[in-house]
Structure 1
Amino acid sequence: MSATQKENPQTREGGGSGVADENPASPERFIRLQAELVVQITDTGQLRSAALGRIAEEEHMPDDERTHARDAVQRDEAEALAYLVDPFDLVGEVPGVELVQASWSSAHTDYDPDAEEWELYEEDDER
C-alpha cells in the first residue's frame, strides 16, 4: 500500500459576513471530503508507462527517491496508480475552495460488486 500526503499551509480569509469569515480557524471553514473508488486495471503496461513518465517529469524528486519510485511502480500496479492520482486535481478548479491537506493511498482489493460489503448506500428499512 502506498500513501502520500501533501499539505498547503496557506489559508485565505474570505470577505463577507458570518461567523466562519470572522474566525478563520472555526470548524465551519473546513470540510473533510471522503471518496472511495474501485478501479479496474485494463492495461498494466499503459498504467506503468504513464506512472514512469510522471516520475521522470518530477523536477524536485531526489534521485534516491526517484529510483525507489520507479522500482515500486514496476512491481505493483497500485503504486503506479498512486503516482498518477492527485487529490489536488479533484478540487483545484472548484470556486471558493482551497485544499489545505490531502492524503491518499491505493491497494489491491478483492472486489465483488454483488457482495453486501461493497454497497455504497445503506437502505433505510423504516421508511
Structure 2
Amino acid sequence: MSTSETTRFVRLRVDLVLEIDGPAELTEAAEGRIDGDEFMPEEERVQARAAAREDSAEALAYLVEPFDLIREVPGIEMVQASWSTEEVEYDPDALEWDLDEEDVEGTDDTDDVDGGGRA
C-alpha cells in the first residue's frame, strides 16, 4: 500500500493564553451554553453553572469547542479531541512562554492524549 493509500493521523497542538477582561460576560456566555445543552443532565448542569461562576477558566472550557477549529477543513475527520483550561501567571518575557519551546531538542511529540473532556 502506498503512502497516499494509507490513513495518516496528525496531532494538531494549539496553545493559547487569553486575558479575561470581562469575567461577567464570560460567565454569562458559559451559563447560556450550559443551559442550552439539551443533553446535559440537570444535576450536571447545576454543578457546571456553579463551576463557571467560581472559575473563569472553567467558564471558558464550556465555550471552547475543538471541533470548531477544524469544522470547515476539507479532507479530514476529527478522531479524538482533548482540551483543558487553567488560570496561569503570565509574563510574556519569561522563557517558559517562548513560542518556540516545541523546537527544543528532546521534545517528544508522540505522547498519547486521552480523548475529549473539560478540565
Query: Corresponding residue for 1:45?
Result: 24
Tell me by how many angstroms 1:121 deviates: 1.7
Q: Whose radius of gyration is greater, 1 or 2?
A: 1
Q: Distance in 2 between matches of 1:103 and 1:34?
A: 10
* Higher strand proportion: 1
Q: Which runs of 4 or more aligned residues in structure 1 lie more than 4 Å from their structure 2 counterparts after TM superposition?
A: none
Q: Label 1:20 to 1:68 Cα distance change in 2 as closer, same or farther (>3 A).
A: farther
Query: Corresponding residue for 2:3?
Result: 19
Q: Give unmatched runs, 5+ long, in structure 2.
A: 105-119
Percent identity (aligned) = 52
1:113 is the counterpart of 2:92? yes
Q: CA RMSD in A?
A: 1.9
Q: Give unmatched runs, 5+ long, in structure 1.
A: 1-16
Q: Distance in 1 between matches of 2:92 and 2:12?
A: 24
TM-score, length-scaled by structure 1: 0.75
Larger RCO: 1 or 2 (CA < 8 Å, sep 6+): 1
Deviation per residue, 1:24-83 (Å, 9 max, x gap): 4xxxx1101111000000100000000000001101001111011001001100000000
2:42 to 63, 73, 76: 63
Provide the aligned length of Structure 1 versus Structure 2: 103
TM-score, length-scaled by structure 2: 0.80
